Amino acid sequence: MQCRTKNFSIVVQAGQYAGDVGGCSRCTLPSDPLLTDSAYSAWRFTNRETDSHKLPNTLQPYNTNLALLLCAAAATMERMAIPLLVIAGPTGSGKTDTAVLAAQALNGEVVTADSMQVYRGMDIGTAKPTPEERQGIPHHLIDVADPDEEFSVAQYVALADATIAEMVARGKTPIVAGGTGFYIHALVDRWEFPPQPADTAFRQRKQQEAERLGAETLLAELRAIDPASAERLHPHDLKRIIRALEVYHLTGKPRSAFQYKPEAGEASGPYRALWYGLTMPREVLNERLERRVHTQLDAGLLEEVQRLYAAGYGPDLPAMKGITYRQLLGYLRGEYDFATAVELMVRDNRRFAKRQHTWFNADARIHWIDILAVGGPAGAAARIVADWQAWRQEEGEGTA
């Protein structure tokens, strides 16, 4: 793969390589022999326009630490369009099996896009793929946070960017697969997010104002600076009213300016993606989701939730509000019986799948595949692989 920047090109080659590799005086990149412990890849800088940008002639293989630096440097100088395969769709639609088969055919690895599978110790309820299901294909961005850690979409994008850069440096095809549309669109479309962390003092001050003057006063203040957000929010939704005021306080821009739409920023971002969505008839998916709930329970889901609860992970944590965990916590806390918990798990899984499909269906870039109509994951993967290879051939980039 070749990435052209304003003053030089980068050639990424898989395997050990000895060439003109070294530090770049313009970009202040290091030339450090200590980085030669791993020879996954080498990045060769070649001068394109000026003799002033010559690089030291050190014949060393470089490891992925330098590869990440070079990738970041190139991306900041000019867009680096990394081909990306996206496999999305509702929960239970066969994304994991399809992505694994596609990865086997394309020398790829999977970047998981699931806001629940990021948490350690939450395996059964998140349908985290087992080692057997992964079939030797690396799955990244799984088990990267504890259940009581805050994990934002901005963190996901940062980790995914670094992971994809490292994969490309090793000559691998990056395959983003999952059902968290917010993660996938933020990654590909480069959505801008309000600043983190929060201004705690500002929030406390506004909370005190609300207690003294009433929430309507804060809503009126928001209406003056961000009428679009004020129109959407209920007067009793004090938390979101204060957050909208805080965003304006921190950025000088209204909260409504941070709008998230498909295709909003892909043209200027570092990726060009080929999108696929997996689907099946609603009644079939509903039956599959009900069976999966019972399979998860048979595999020890209740015990997993009991262990997490006993470890101090309570219902107020975002991680524990996920489907299956929330419903079983209600049972463990005596809010309803076990049969009711199971009914709620089935119901909420179905509702969640419907919301996911609605989210992805709004993106015209997605090529939808009825996974049952093509013979299951093998058929879906075969079509995706063929399309990917044709797509790459059209761009003169080979079939990998």
Helix (H, G, I), strand (E, B) or coil at 59: strand
Per-residue burial over 132-152, b if 16 or more Cβ lie within 10 Å, else e, is: eebeebebbbbebbbbbeebe
Q: 66-70: long-range contacts (C-beta < 8 A, 24 or more apart)?
A: 66/29, 66/30, 66/32, 66/35, 67/12, 67/40, 67/41, 67/43, 67/165, 67/166, 67/169, 68/162, 68/165, 68/166, 68/169, 69/29, 69/30, 70/10, 70/29, 70/43, 70/45
Instruction: State the CB neighbour count (10 A cutoff) for residue 355.
Output: 14
| Mean pLDDT computed over 266-295 | 94
CATH of 200-257, one of 1.20.120.1200, 1.10.20.140, 3.40.50.2300, 3.40.190.10: 1.10.20.140
| Mean pLDDT computed over 202-211 | 94
| Mean pLDDT computed over 127-151 | 96
DSSP string computed for 132-158 = HHHTT--EESSS-B-TTS---HHHHHH
Query: Is-above-0.75 flag for pTM?
Result: no
Residue 95, CB-side half-sphere exposure with 13 Å CA sphere:
30
Across the chain, mean pLDDT equals: 81
Ranking 55-59, 102-106, 126-130, 132-136 by mean pLDDT, the lowest is 55-59
Handedness of CA 22, 23, 29, 34 (dihedral sign): positive
Q: Contact at 8 Å (CB) between 175 and 102?
A: yes
Cα distances from 318 to residues 88, 149, 363, in angstroms, run: 23, 9, 27
Which residue do the tokens 């804060």 mark? 218
CA dihedral 331, 335, 337, 341 (to 10 degrees): -50
The whole-number pLDDT of residue 264 equals 60
Name the packing angle between helices 325-332 and 338-361 (round to 10°): 160
| Cβ neighbours of residue 338 closer than 8 Å, sequence gap 6 or more | 331
Q: What is the pLDDT of residues 5-17, one digit of tens each?
A: 333 233 333 332 2
Peptide bond into 197 cis (omega under 30): yes
Q: Contact at 8 Å (CB) between 82 and 164?
A: yes
Q: What is the CATH number of domain 82-191+264-394?
A: 3.40.50.300
Q: What is the pLDDT of residues 85-114, one digit of tens each?
A: 999 999 999 999 999 999 999 999 999 999
What amino acid occupies position 358? T
Q: Contact at 8 Å (CB) between 10 and 43?
A: yes
Name the packing angle between helices 338-361 and 181-189 (round to 10°): 30
Domain residue ranges of the chain, discontinuous segments joined by +: 2-77, 82-191+264-394, 200-257
Per-residue burial over 154-174, b if 16 or more Cβ lie within 10 Å, else e, is: ebbbebbbebbbbbbbbebbb
More confident residue, 326 or 29: 326
Whole-angstrom Cα distance, residue 7 to residue 74? Answer: 10
The whole-number pLDDT of residue 352 equals 96
| Mean pLDDT computed over 371-383 | 98
